[in-house]
Chain A
Amino acid sequence: ILNVEQSPQSLHVQEGDSTNFTCSFPSSNFYALHWYRWETAKSPEALFVMTLNGDEKKKGRISATLNTKEGYSYLYIKGSQPEDSATYLCARPDTGTASKLTFGTGTRLQVTL
């Protein structure tokens, strides 16, 4: 079982603030790193799937970077809005069967006016 860790556990920012959080994972036998956004009372939705060291992906105000050699990924949100409030999950495929994901426990972001 992989150990995927996310920090911080929760984060409270004001509208307009930029923020970032971390996903740490074992760097050996790396296949991919997934990021999901999970709003309360909804289902998780995929943000990014990253595969290459140095990869950087962007969707609107949200971006992510990947360092496979040291085993971490950062998720950045620029100019946070209340609608960004959600739990952000990262996950890594299992080394034995690449389709199985091990999820971190998530970073819960609250954006207030």
Chain B
Amino acid sequence: NAGVTQTPKFRVLKTGQSMTLLCAQDMNHEYMYWYRQDPGMGLRLIHYSVGEGTTAKGEVPDGYNVSRLKKQNFLLGLESAAPSQTSVYFCASSYSRDYSNQPQHFGDGTRLSIL
């Protein structure tokens, strides 16, 4: 059982380059989330999705776009990478039933460096 899988695990970009981070889950979860984790800041929500074809902004959405074309996949895009986006990115998913009571299941993270 793979759970939540993130690709790639590491990436180095130059300022202005674009890239897409992929998150895939095999638990048939409705909800999916993208977080970034920075020292001293904890996990901050970038964007989230409550179902296929729907996305919404989280706490720190600027500079990122997302898409949820298939229920099992949630893509995070950086159109023009900036050094401030150097971070560790985590994807998570959860069931929709009794939503506030459902724990989130996390991927292993993607470490992204922008030079």
Contacts and interface: CB of A to CB of B under 8 A. Distances in A.
Nearest to B45: A100
Contacts of A97: 50, 56
Interface residues of B, number: 28
Contact of B100 (A1, A45, A93, A105): A93
B12 interface: no
Contacts, number: 62
Given A43-B108, A44-B106, A99 B101 contact: no
B31 interface: yes
A111 interface: no
Contacts of A32: 100-101
Interface string A2-41: 0000000000000000000000000000011010100000
B103 A49 contact: yes
Contacts of B103: 34, 36, 46, 49
B42 A105 contact: yes
Interface in B12-43: 31, 33, 40-43
